[in-house]
A and B are shown apart, each in its own frame.
Chain A
Amino acid sequence: MVLKYVIITLRIYLWGDFFMDAINKLKILADAAKYDVSCSSSNSNRKNTKNGLGNASEAGICHSWSDDGRCISLLKILMSNYCIYDCAYCVNRISNDLPRATFTPEEIIDITISFYKRNYIEGLFLSSAVVKSPDYTMECFLKIVKSLREEENFNGYIHLKAIPGADKKLLDQVGKYVDRLSVNIELPTSEGLKMLAPQKKQEEIFAPMKNIKDEIDIFKEEKKKYKKRELFVPAGQTTQLIIGATNDSDHRILNLSESLYNSYDLKRVYYSAFIPVSTNPLLPSILKPPLRRENRLYQADWLLRFYGFKAKELLTEDEPNFDLKIDPKAQYALKNIQEYPVEINRADYKTLLRVPGIGVKSARRIVTSRNFQKLTYDDLKKMGVVLKRAKYFILCDGKHYGFKSMDSEMIKLKLIDDKVNLDQISLFDLGVEDNGQGNSIYLR
């Protein structure tokens, strides 16, 4: 009897301790990870195995939405925030005075599996500060992901940050176990990197991206031949760029993105508006984070990936930045007004995609529906076309519903974004955290 009582108390005590400890670390290491933009769990269709737990969903699944309105799909944590580097733009830099913690591999594995079984998450997004050395950090990662896959038979989604400067062999090894790898470029140019993150080198960032790309290519080739070829980063790689910490133009950034998509086969480039709250003289003294600029870059990014645009069609050396008043597609259309109006009943899919107000879905619907009947202006409404914008650029069976003349100045006045005036949002709405640590710079 007594023994039973003692065992129960001991168990409660031990579990209580485990949870207290883990919760404290979780607070610190979730806080440290939340400024990474990516939380997507898509592009992998990893299947469950015989004795396994979990699978991945090609389209991705959101499990909750936090108070800031962002989707929570993965358990997004740092393994540790003890960093040896001192990058001026980063919250975890060595010179910043904030609470530090490190998870053990066992803790990360236990939390991931337990959250997964309760359907809190799609999987794990693991990142880390650089602990001791890049190789050491990657070795810890390897231990965790290998154990998750091979010992726990976990088949849920894993997104891992690759640590620049780590040995290629380590990268190849973790690639076998994870669904997605990402290397954050952060600063678009090497000059920027030299200034703000002097311990990092651009080659060290691009080298792992190149390695990952090459290994994925090999994987894709071999998979055609052998069905049972082990996976290698099936959901591809992504990266993140900080916007506005350096004075690089949109033209430069968009060209960088385009070449990343073309030569490294990236799945996504994320953009993160820089929020300055530092007295560091190397950082620009802007007052507001360039949120609208970030939004324009995302829109342009979509145009590259889904709308068949080339970066050089959108921006040039002479016109290196996006118009903040109108979106990039409208900017293109007004600049090339001679290409419009477009006849809805005849224009091919690619041309339809270049009409402001017509998206991928509505362009597809137009193409399939017009096989059955001629489309009228009213039909377009049903298909999700935003006529308020599209009407200046289209003909429906020869009829135009916009202005009599194709005057781009007049049309522009009608297209100006007036929904949200981002310029008026104060700094404190935007992720500048007042945690009493002074000098912290947080990324959105």
Chain B
Amino acid sequence: MDKEIAYIYDNSFEGFLTCIHRAYYTREDPNYIITREEQIDLLIKTIEVETDLEKSKKVYKAIQEKISNQALRKVFVVFLSEESQMGLIILNYLRIGFKMGPKVDDYNIHPAVDEIDKLYKKVSHERHRLLGLARFKELENGIYYSQLEPDYNVISLIAPHFSQRLKNERWIIHDIKRGIAVFYNKKEWVLRNLEEPEDFIISEKEEGYQDMWREYYKHISIGNRKNTRQKKAYMPTRYWKHLVEIT
């Protein structure tokens, strides 16, 4: 029996697309597409796929042209899920996508399409959720700073929203789980590594507004209609840590 194959890439989207390129041109059928950090069985044959910008660009364009822009977005969003099965889910989807063209996304009862759609929904859902649940603190230097610990790697998906909404403010959205942050300087945003700061000085009015928000939060609820289950269903407790209003 043939040995199982695992492609190993360097964590980047380009590296991942290079793997897709290789799967197509070698006609190999990888069983895993994973990053170096992920553990796999010793019996599996690993192939280090070196990131090649030319090849990744080809795949990028092929998805756009042969399937659709929407498909490209879907692939990128699902890539950010960082789930171990993500690599194969995308590969399977692209295989049928390249055969069917743009209409593949209507074929949602096909298992490959159904699977990528499910993961896409999960990541998009968290993105949408955090558009509402991200909280900014005003720092002494006027920067608005937000700390998050999302399940998926979504801060680059929420950055465009805030660069529209708070376009005349300087802000930072910090994913402390992954040690990365989006920085916005009133013109454009960039993604950089950033360790968790030990301390930061907040503006003199910051605490006053936080108190105000907490009081509002308490008083807008109808006391005798308490429904914690529903609240938790919409706003899972893992997000509470960074919410000002929850004490």
Asked if B217 contacts A64 (CB within 8 A), the reply is: yes
Residues of B within 8 A of A23 (CB): 211-212, 215
Asked if A118 contacts B205 (CB within 8 A), the reply is: no
Interface centre among A57, A75, A373, A383 (most CB of B within 10 A): A57
Tell me, yes or no, whether A5 is within 8 Å of chain B by CB.
no
List residues of A (4-21) whose CB comes within 8 Å of B's CBs: 11-12, 15-16, 18-19
Asked if B222 contacts A76 (CB within 8 A), the reply is: no
Q: Which of A16, A19, A22, A69 contacts B234 (CB 8 A)?
A: A69
Residues of A within 8 A of B10 (CB): none
Which A residues form the contact surface with B (CB < 8 A)? 11-12, 15-16, 18-19, 22-23, 26-27, 30-31, 33-35, 47-48, 51-55, 57, 61-73, 75-76, 111, 114-115, 117-120, 122, 365, 368-369, 371-373, 375, 379, 382-383, 428-434, 442, 444
Asked if B225 contacts A118 (CB within 8 A), the reply is: no
Asked if B222 contacts A433 (CB within 8 A), the reply is: yes
- Distance between Cα atoms of A110 and B246 in the complex (Å): 23
Asked if A70 contacts B221 (CB within 8 A), the reply is: yes
Residue on B nearest A18 in the bound complex, by CB: B208
Number of A-B contacts (CB under 8 A): 165
Which B residues form the contact surface with A (CB < 8 A)? 106-110, 114, 128, 131-138, 144, 146, 162, 164-169, 204-205, 208-209, 211-213, 215-217, 219-231, 233-235, 243-245
Asked if A51 contacts B168 (CB within 8 A), the reply is: yes
Task: Tell me, rounded to whole Å, the shortest Cβ–Cβ distance linking A138 to chain B.
Answer: 24
Known: A30-B219, A429-B224. A119 touches B168 (CB 8 A): no
Asked if A115 contacts B209 (CB within 8 A), the reply is: yes
| Interface CB pairs A-B, < 8 A, 19 | A12-B204, A48-B165, A51-B168, A52-B167, A61-B128, A61-B131, A62-B234, A65-B230, A67-B226, A68-B231, A69-B227, A117-B144, A118-B244, A120-B213, A369-B108, A379-B109, A429-B225, A432-B224, A444-B225
Q: Which of A19, A67, A372, A444 contacts B211 (CB 8 A)?
A: A19
Residues of A within 8 A of B216 (CB): 26, 30, 75
Residues of A within 8 A of B217 (CB): 64, 66, 72
Interface centre among A11, A73, A114, A365 (most CB of B within 10 A): A114
Residues of A within 8 A of B245 (CB): 64, 120
Interface centre among B136, B225, B230 (most CB of A within 10 A): B225
Known: A52-B168, A368-B106. A115 touches B213 (CB 8 A): yes
Task: Tell me, rounded to whole Å, the shortest Cβ–Cβ distance linking A425 to chain B.
Answer: 10
Sample of 6 further A-B pairs with CB below 8 A, known A16-B208, A69-B225, A430-B224: A47-B164, A66-B220, A114-B205, A120-B213, A375-B109, A379-B109
- Distance between Cα atoms of A404 and B57 in the complex (Å): 59
Residues of A within 8 A of B166 (CB): 53-54, 117
Asked if B135 contacts A118 (CB within 8 A), the reply is: yes
Residue on B nearest A110 in the bound complex, by CB: B209
Residues of B within 8 A of A62 (CB): 132, 234
Residue on B nearest A365 in the bound complex, by CB: B108
- Distance between Cα atoms of A111 and B210 in the complex (Å): 11
- Distance between Cα atoms of A380 and B224 in the complex (Å): 40
- Distance between Cα atoms of A64 and B134 in the complex (Å): 10
Residues of A within 8 A of B228 (CB): 67, 69
Asked if A428 contacts B208 (CB within 8 A), the reply is: no
Residues of B within 8 A of A111 (CB): 212
Residue on B nearest A366 in the bound complex, by CB: B109
Task: Tell me, rounded to whole Å, the shortest Cβ–Cβ distance linking A389 to chain B.
Answer: 21
Residue on B nearest A111 in the bound complex, by CB: B212
Q: Which of A16, A27, A57, A371 contacts B215 (CB 8 A)?
A: A27
- Distance between Cα atoms of A120 and B132 in the complex (Å): 8
Asked if A382 contacts B231 (CB within 8 A), the reply is: no
Asked if A67 contacts B212 (CB within 8 A), the reply is: no
Asked if A48 contacts B164 (CB within 8 A), the reply is: yes
Q: Which of A368, A372, A373, A431 contacts B222 (CB 8 A)?
A: A431
Residue on B nearest A54 in the bound complex, by CB: B165
Residues of B within 8 A of A52 (CB): 167-168
Asked if B146 contacts A119 (CB within 8 A), the reply is: yes
Residues of A within 8 A of B221 (CB): 34, 66-68, 70
Residues of B within 8 A of A64 (CB): 132-133, 217, 235, 243, 245
Asked if B138 contacts A55 (CB within 8 A), the reply is: no
Asked if B165 contacts A26 (CB within 8 A), the reply is: no
